[in-house]
Amino acid sequence: MANPSILDVFPLDIVELVIREAKNYDRKDFCGLRLVCKVVNELVEPEVFSTITIDFIRDDSEGWKNIPEFLSSLASGTSPYVRRAKELQLSGLIPIQSDVYWSQFDPWQDEERETMLACQKEWLKPAIESLVQVERVEFVANSREPYHDVLSALATLPRLRDLSITFHSYSPFEDVPFAGFSNLNSVRLTGLPMTPHILDGVKALLAKSPFITELLLNPSRQPGAPEVKRTELSSMVEDVMQPNLIPTLKQLTISAALLNLSPSCAPFLRSLTGLEILNDSAHVQPSFWKSLQDSGVHLQELKVAPLRQPIVDYLLSYSGLRDFTLDLTHSDTEDVEKIVPRFFHAVLPRHRDAIQSISFRHTKLGPWTIIQSYLDEGVYHCKKLKYLTLIYYFPSPNEKRTHPVIPLANLFREISDNLPQLETLRLEHTRKFQSSFGCGFAYEQYFQTVDRAFASRIISSESQFFHKRRPQFDLEAAGTTFISKPVHAASSGSESDSGIGSGGGRYYRFDLLKASDDLELLPDEVVSDCDAYSGDELGFF
């Protein structure tokens, strides 16, 4: 009589549910489920061995001693990773290029280094080539390490579709063998060395990947290498832009400092839905945005800094933007005072039926600081918002105020009323700071104190607000997370003290998600007046 199966006791969907939950707990225990029975092993093994990491990290655990056996089992095909691995992560290889300065910091020295170097030379390449099921690769390529052999091995993987490489240039990369790759869907190249030969290799890679959907190009200048002029993106994709081109690219992330976006690349971008421009958007030709408009490109995601007039004009030409991020920028445009009101009063209402996320990555006090009209005429029209960042003016008690202050109680109540689908509200508090810190406050300590003062303001009684239902969004501010809670009944039992109001509503407040010993709440008065900026010259923010 055959041994009973676990499926005779529990249906398959229940077993799969248990396994999915077990993944969230101790990895060792999860791996141990393979020993329960054959059925469970068949379900668990693909999860346990789905991602493989190859590195030569030397640490105190002495796990590095198993590296030779690990690589040889891959090369021989006996490792479960050969059958199951879908993702490969590569980093921390043994340097093969000596360097008078850097070699002294290598974790491997003397005989150990020679032993591991021999292991790497014998087993690394065949180990990589054995992983025929791998579809995604993340490789940190160091110019002192055997990146050439690694890339040549990766190019042989028949199922590889997503390639991500981060280049670390301790010395010039002499050659990067991109030409062997083909049929990739996603290519992410960070720190890409800007040499004509390497750029030609990227060009060949893109020409042999006609169905690419995601492209990240963030090049950098190599140390000691001749300076390279800015390169047109169109010159790198000209072999792709044939008359019969069917554009497939959905997501583009590009450094505008070294790669030029101009109208000539518009045919390659006709299917684009997401664009992230690294570095200053001033490097992008204004006519590029008009070419996107003329090509019918309707971006759903845009991350840029700073926001310039041609970008505003483009955003007003269509509707459907879903995610907008204003990235960190060191300086605003000269016409920022005109652009910001137009963004809130015109751009946001234009995309009101689609936009779900608005983010700001800087906290400078200035035109982007939120005021009531930006909320009433812009933000509150966007009923589908799920994620919202606001730059909130939180002046010091004795600061000479330059912006109107929106009481937190009013802000929380209005957001609860107007943004029913909001999941996360992030407040980046800002104020004018003195350019030097006296009275014993060090730089970091000062800003931590301001953070704690803002957290105290959030949970204080003056920030309580009345609403008909409990707000469902979380609040992120001052480096921590807050959740809404009803105001507890007071001992007096009066209506105002109980937190219950008329009309079926009650009072709510935001409180810390969980108590933290690291967050000591302090009133704002502990921030010395001499640290609050009140002059006319520029401070830190």
Left, alpha or beta for 434 (phi > 0: left; psi -120 to 50: alpha)? beta
Q: Is the pLDDT reported for residue 37 higher than 70? A: no
Determine what percent of the chain is predicted with pLDDT higher than 90.
Answer: 58
- Could you give the CA distance from residue 231 to residue 521 in angstroms, rounded to a whole number? 51
User: Mean per-residue pLDDT for 308-314?
Assistant: 96
Q: Which of 109, 134, 159 is the last residue of a domain?
A: 134
30 and 1 together in one domain = yes
- Percentage with pLDDT > 70 across the chain: 78
pLDDT in tens, 83-105: 999 999 999 898 887 665 666 66
The band of 66, judged by pLDDT with boundaries at 50, 70 and 90, is confident
**pLDDT tens digit sequence for 507-520:** 999 999 876 544 55
Residues 99 and 8 in one domain: no
Instruction: Pick the most confident of 12-21, 276-285, 412-421.
Output: 412-421
Rounded distance, CA 318 to CA 293, Å? 8
Higher pLDDT pick, 523 / 322: 322
What's the pLDDT band for 532 if we cut at 50, 70, 90? Answer: very low
Residue 261: pLDDT over 90: yes
Instruction: Kindly state whether residues 370 and 495 are assigned to the same domain.
Output: yes
Give 151-189 as a DSSP string: HHHHTT-TT--EEEEEEE-SS-------TT--S-SEEEE
**The pLDDT value given to residue 221:** 79
Nearest Cα residue to 251 out of 218, 234, 231, 276: 276
Answer yes or no: is 221 within a domain: no
Residue 51 vs residue 16, higher pLDDT: 51
Please give the full DSSP string across 441-469, using - where no structure is assigned: --HHHHHHHHHHHHHHHHHSGGG-EEESS
**1 pLDDT exceeds 60?**
no
pLDDT value for 535: 40
How confident is the model at residue 466, as a pLDDT? Answer: 93
Q: 329: which DSSP letter?
A: -
Q: Are residues 32 and 83 in the same domain?
A: no
Rounded CA-CA distance 386/452 in Å is 26
Task: Out of 77, 99, 134, pick the residue that ends a domain.
Answer: 134
First to last CA, the chain: 78
Rounded mean pLDDT, 8-23 = 63
Give the pLDDT band (50/70/90) at residue 213: very high
Residue 529 has a pLDDT of 44
Long-range contacts of 519-522 (CB under 8 A, 24+ apart): 519/452, 519/455, 519/478, 519/479, 519/480, 520/452, 521/452, 521/455, 521/456, 521/459, 522/449, 522/452, 522/453, 522/456
Strand 480-486 versus strand 474-477 pairing type: antiparallel
Instruction: Give how far Cα 224 sits from Cα of 230, 257, 405, 507, Å.
Output: 18, 19, 51, 64
Tell me if 151 is assigned to some domain: no
- For residue 14, tell me if it sits in a domain: yes
Count Cβ atoms below 10 Å from residue 474 Cβ, excluding itself: 16
For the beta carbon of residue 277, count every other beta carbon within 10 angstroms.
21
Residues in the chain: 541
pLDDT value at 274 more than 90: yes
Contact 364, 331 (CB under 8 A): no
Pick 409 or 59 by higher pLDDT.
409
Q: Enumerate the β-bridge partners of residue 219.
A: 192
Domain span at 31: 1-48
12 and 89 both lie in a single domain: no
Is 349 a member of any domain?
Answer: no
* Per-residue exposure over 171-184, b if at least 16 CB sit within 10 Å of its own CB, e if not: eebeebbbeebeeb
How far from chain centre, in Å, is Cα 55? Answer: 24
Give 456-509 pLDDT, tens digit per residue. Answer: 999 998 999 999 999 999 999 999 999 999 997 543 344 444 455 555 689 999
Query: Per-residue confidence at 372, pLDDT binned at 50, 70, 90?
Result: very high
pLDDT at 528 over 60: no
Instruction: Report whether 228 contacts 195 (CB < 8 A).
Output: yes
Of 106, 134, 162, the position where a domain reaches its end is 134
Judgement on whether residues 400 and 522 belong to the same structural domain of the protein: yes
Q: Does 18 lie in the same domain as 43?
A: yes
Task: Give the pLDDT band (50/70/90) at residue 324.
Answer: very high
* Count of structural domains within the chain: 3
pTM, entire model: 0.86
User: 26 pLDDT exceeds 90?
Assistant: no
The reply to whether 12 and 115 lie within a common domain is no
Q: Are residues 387 and 456 in the same domain?
A: yes
**Which amino acid, residue 191?**
G
Which range, of 30-34, 216-220, 251-255, 393-397, averages the lowest pLDDT?
30-34
Is 373 inside any structural domain? yes
Find all residues with CB under 8 Å of 541, minimum gap 6, and list them.
363, 364, 365, 430, 431, 432, 433
Confidence of residue 169 (pLDDT cuts 50, 70, 90): confident
- Domain for residue 394, yes or no? yes
SS (H, E, C) 20-47: HHHCCCCHHHHHHHHHCCHHHHHHHHHH
In a domain, 198, yes or no: no
Q: What is the pLDDT of residue 536?
A: 40
Closest CA to 439 of 522, 518, 526, 523: 526
Note whether residue 481 is domain-resident: yes
Are the C-beta atoms of 123 and 94 separated by less than 8 Å?
A: no
Instruction: Please indicate, yes or no, whether residues 75 and 26 belong to a single structural domain of this protein.
Output: no
Q: Which pLDDT score, from 0 to 100, does residue 276 have?
A: 97
User: In terms of domains, do 103 and 9 share one?
Assistant: no
Compute the distance between CA of residue 307 and CA of residue 319 in angstroms, rounded to an integer.
Answer: 18
Q: What does DSSP assign to residue 235?
A: H
Residue 524 has pLDDT above 90, yes or no: no
pLDDT of 390 reads 97
Nearest residue to 228 (alpha-carbon basis) of 196, 191, 190: 196
What is the pLDDT, as a whole number, of residue 351? Answer: 99
Tell me, yes or no, whether 125 and 12 share the same domain. no
Q: Average pLDDT, whole number, for the chain?
A: 85
Using 50, 70 and 90 to split pLDDT, how confident is the model at 281? confident
